[in-house]
Amino acid sequence: MLSMSLQQYDDFLKKNKLSANATQIQMVKRSGQRIQKAVERYFTEHGMSQELRNYDWEFNLIESDEVNAWCMPGGKVAVYTGIMPIAQDENGLAVVMGHEIAHAVAGHGGERMSHLLAVQMGGLALTAALSQKPQATQQLWFAAFGLGAQIGIVLPYSRLQEHEADRLGLIFMAMAGYSPDTAVPLWERLAAQKGGKAPPAFLSTHPTDASRIAEIKSYIPEAWRYYKKQ
């Protein structure tokens, strides 16, 4: 999974334009690196540091009107410029990045990839699928890690996965020194985008509703206990 992540991420960067907005680039990298350190500290404190041993973190801002962001295994993160106006500031961006990184470190993308291999390729192992159907496997990979809206395959995260990423994402951003209170307004702004003809790609894989936002509110007191002022 980590090896394929590196390959697919590099391929994605070659085919997509990186932003030239120096201010936003620095914001993405600064927020990403702070959350990275928080994740590493959290995993060390819980005796799970081995799970991150082969991570090679990278944070890039992609020039695109698409409202999206994702994280592949190994800490390969992409944020699209289209989501920056909704994030509004570094705290809002930290909500997005904390949530996406939480999905990755919790193994949700891998679970979705296994599901797609079972449904679309009759349960082929990843290595076999890569050798026999490389192009189709690449499309499944992108679908599993949040690029599905671009290629016509959309696989929403399960409710359980969403709750786990919501909770962990809030903890990670709080440990990184960002206010978890900014999470609810961010998700409300994303939900408001649904009013248009085409909802954000981000919400194709991350459905938002009132009950979920209420659940996020219930996680905030726990997240504040992890807050570390930078």
Positions annotated as catalytic residues are 100
Token pair belonging to 25? 């680039």
State how far the alpha carbon of 161 is from the alpha carbons of 117, 143, 158, 165, in Å: 19, 16, 5, 6
User: 190: closest CA among 179, 205, 178, 180?
Assistant: 205
Phi, psi of 78 (to 5 degrees): -130, 130
Instruction: Report the distance separating Cα 207 and Cα 187, nearest Å.
Output: 10
Instruction: Report the distance separating Cα 212 and Cα 216, nearest Å.
Output: 6
Give the β-pairing of 76-80 and 69-72: antiparallel
Burial of 16 (0-12, 13-18, 19+ CB in 10 A): middle
